[in-house]
Structure 1
Amino acid sequence: MDPHRKGDLTEALVIAEFKRRAIPIATSVGDNERWDVLAETETGAILRVQIKTGWIENGTIRLVGTTVHTNSTGNVRKRYHGDVDVFVVYCHENETMYLVEEREFGTQIRLRVDEPAIRHKNINWAEEYEFDERWPPDLDTNARTLQTTDPTTVAGVDALESAGAPVWRDVRGTSKRNVVTVVDGRPYRVRIESGFLREGRIKVHPDETDTDCYVVYCDDLDDCDDVAAVYAIAREEVAETFSLRMDEPERIRANTKLATDYAFATNWPPA
């Protein structure tokens, strides 16, 4: 079978196995992420999963933990270091799924299926890596949690979580205001921004445009019981800067955005 087709088959089989076990997952839109799916454990931890095809070679299942791309100098291999949490490996020869943590090996690992001629103490026995024996993995995911007291981030995350949306750090960068949630079963990038009340408008100057939507928190409105302080707006609806009008003007233009139309409570997820 063509390697690309086999890879697609492996991914389809693993996703089916996740669903059969009732493990919530979300897939990436496009091929921009180094993980294939996000999987949620029973405790609510979100793990980045890279799905790999394993094959039996000399009595072992070989897993290669690198990607290959070509540049002017030839083929270049790159590790997944820090970009995924676990590898889920499916071996077609024995129809078995395995789980290996990214931190457990370097560029490759072999899981022994057959008894070797000579036993060594560092043998990785395949049966010890079978998926159901290791799920969920005991990983410290605190590195990607939102450890922050920034009021804008806290308000945005609180709004998302109050809507029942899981929230975790976006692996794109270091800013805690880039977060990821799930909408319709797919990862959804959110940029949390501060809004400032000026001349009857909530004005926003985003620092990030590579996102699916903005969640805007206006501290000036936080103590107003009858006015929302958090708003949600889709990325495609705005330019590099934008504002939300608090009061309806005498004349509404095509680009007028009334804050009441974008209140988070009634506009999540943004259309």
Structure 2
Amino acid sequence: MELGYRVSVPTSGHCPYDLVLDTDDELLKIQVKHATLRDDERMLRCSLKRSNPNATGTNDSYYGANEVDAYLIFCPEKETLYWIDFDDAPAANVVLRFESSVDHPGIRWADEYEL
């Protein structure tokens, strides 16, 4: 909303997404995730799975491309939001780095995803 988009919240708790973002050009299904700082605050890690309670405990599963368009990851320690398109996200966990002792092409730098 601060960026000028309209945001809607589904009325059902059974939707695979938490928000719908209206950009005027399209409606995007957004899954909101929480991330915590790790490794002496050099990175943040976030699980991209969902856990659904059932009679035997929980059933963990992952989102599909038809369910979610993007992930909005909130890091409370930095009071920052990170946007990752579904097609750019790994299947299970995402790691965003603030610094690293190696320079590897597979590293996801946090500042590239920061809103």
Task: Give the number of aligned pairs.
Answer: 111
Of Structure 1 and Structure 2, which has the larger fraction of its residues in strand?
Answer: 2
- 1 CA distance for matches of 2:113 and 2:105? 16
Shift of 1:32: 1.7
- 2 CA distance for matches of 1:37 and 1:70? 21
Match of 2:4? 22
Q: RMSD over aligned Cα, in angstroms? A: 1.5
Q: Deviations over 1:37-60 (max 9, x none)?
A: 111114x21100111111111121
Corresponding position: 1:71 with 2:45: no
**Out of 35, 43, 54, which is 1:54 matched to?**
35
Unaligned runs of 5+ in 1: 1-18, 132-271
TM-score if structure 2 supplies the norm length? 0.87
- 2 CA distance for matches of 1:81 and 1:118? 32
TM-score if structure 1 supplies the norm length? 0.39
Q: In the alignment, residue 93 of structure 2 is paired with which amino acid?
A: Q
Which residues in structure 2 correspond to 1:196-211 (within 5 Å)? Answer: none
Shift of 1:117: 2.1
Match of 1:128? 112
Instruction: Flag the structure with more relative contact order, 1 or 2, with Cα contacts below 8 A and sequence separation at least 6.
Output: 2
Shift of 1:72: 4.7
Of Structure 1 and Structure 2, which has the larger fraction of its residues in helix?
Answer: 1
Shift of 1:68: 1.0
Match of 2:13? 31
- 2 CA distance for matches of 1:97 and 1:119? 24
Counterpart secondary structure, 1:20: coil
**Out of 99, 103, 108, which is 1:119 matched to?**
103
Unaligned runs of 5+ in 2: none
